[in-house]
Amino acid sequence: MTALSPTAHFHTIRHPKFSLSDRPFIVIWEVTRACDLACAHCRAEAIPSRNPAELTTAEGRSLIDQVAAFGRPSPILILTGGDPLQRPDLRELVAYASSRHIPVALSPSATPRLTSERLRELHAAGVKAISLSVDGASAPVHDAFRGIAGVYERTLRAWDAALECGLKVQVNTTAARLNLWDLPAIARMVLERGALTWSVFFLVPVGRGTALAQLSAEECENVMNFVYDVGRAMPAKTTEGHHYKRVVVQRTVLQRLGVAPEGVLKLGRLYGELNARLGRVPARDTTRRTPMDVNAGRGFVFVSHTGDVHPSGFLPIPAGNLRTIGLGEIYRSSRLFNQLRDPALLRGRCGRCEFAPVCGGSRSRAYAMTGDVLEEDPLCAYAPLSFPFQNEVAQLLRDEASAYAG
């Protein structure tokens, strides 16, 4: 076995300092499905008007109490939609969550409601960070995703306003055929304008996203390795691209051995072209954002606008409803959540993969494309045990496990 040179204070995968079987790392609450946009990839198939069956303000406060009941450090509460700004009680809910010492983030839509005044108000109430979607490096590409003209410029104004008032900004980008070649320009935009992190979303074909042409598994491998390279210059991660964690482990091993990734990982022209279009960027390894060891139902829970509790917003299987059962009981005791926390139950290539304990694949995509929540992730091209440095991978994961245990 070739010895790996250690990197001080660096983890390829971050792990919460508590059991993910006991409580989640993130709680996402879809406060409404109402939204004025018509995004091509919208999982919620958002509608113009609010649903009368949405959780009420009192029920929202109860949900916040249940999030607080998981203990400290509290799970992160992300308020999403639709467009959460359509709820008139949004500021009240944010302030209440903040009073319960819950870190609150907001995922708004770039509608005329997203003003600098509203951002300042919500920041004062307790919002720590917002996420904004940028799916193109120009108005024509981005607005084609959103279904409405003018959204691109409004997003950039909101980005500037958020940074000016002290909010952290995460930029979300959907990787699809429509904007594949815009990814380097978007990455450079994030680097130059400033953001907490760049998160690349790998499409799950649900909602309106079923009509959007997605990338192939091989193209995803190239894009994920490009995202890894971008991570040298700024914090970058993926959403519903859980096999990015496998890529991070592979690239870490290769880097420590001094082996170029292209041949070992069978990267193609797409990888080279994306990096060529990005051009030279300053390497700042201290900014690299390593992935968090969470997945659907394992550190992650989603509450719909009507109180249904799901392992993920992209996995339309409810495990219970808050109007009849508590969030903690659903998370800890439901059969679905417990199945998803057991990598031994995974099937297909995911079940045979040596990276399953740190990856697990997208359970949402597996369900959307196969009808089986435990099947292999169709967007992963990796053949189990094909990476040539198996001993080095095992050593790296053992070393990290020992570091966290210590």
- In order of 49, 80, 301, the CA distances from 87 in angstroms are 11, 11, 21
Answer whether 374's CB lies under 8 Å from 335's CB. no
Phi, psi of 27 (to 5 degrees): -120, 120
DSSP 382: P
Q: What is the mean pLDDT of residues 8-19?
A: 77
Give 3-state DSSP helix, strand, coil % of the chain, rounded to 5: 40, 15, 45
In the prediction, which pLDDT does 285 show? Answer: 61
- Say how many C-beta atoms besides its own lie within 10 A of residue 6's C-beta: 11
**Global pTM?**
0.92
**Residue 311 pLDDT exceeds 90:** yes
**Residue 8 pLDDT exceeds 50:** no
The percentage of the chain sitting over the pLDDT mark of 90, rounded to a whole number, equals 77
Q: Which CATH architecture has domain 26-296?
A: Alpha-Beta Barrel (3.20)
Phi, psi of 332 (to 5 degrees): -85, -30
Output the six-digit token pair for 127: 């919002």
Q: Is the pLDDT higher at 285 or at 16?
A: 16
Q: Give tens-digit pLDDT for 91-128.
A: 999 999 999 999 999 999 988 999 999 999 999 999 99
The position carrying tokens 């979303």 is 201
**Residue 212 pLDDT exceeds 80:** no
In the prediction, which pLDDT does 211 show? Answer: 61
**Residue 208 pLDDT exceeds 70:** no
Helix (H) or strand (E) holding 28: strand 26-30
Q: Where are the domains of the chain?
A: 26-296
Identify the band that residue 268 occupies on the pLDDT scale cut at 50, 70 and 90. Answer: very high
Best-predicted range by mean pLDDT (135-144, 279-288, 379-388): 379-388
**Residue 44 pLDDT exceeds 80:** no
- Say how many C-beta atoms besides its own lie within 10 A of residue 333's C-beta: 13
**Residue 248 pLDDT exceeds 50:** yes
**Helices (DSSP H) in 301-389: which residue ranges?**
327-333, 335-340, 348-352, 363-370
**Average model confidence (pLDDT) across the chain:** 91
Q: Strands 197-202 and 168-175, how do they pair? A: parallel
Phi, psi of 309 (to 5 degrees): -110, 125
Q: Give tens-digit pLDDT for 317-368.
A: 999 999 999 999 999 999 999 999 999 999 999 999 999 989 999 999 999 9
In the prediction, which pLDDT does 148 show? Answer: 81
In the prediction, which pLDDT does 74 show? Answer: 95
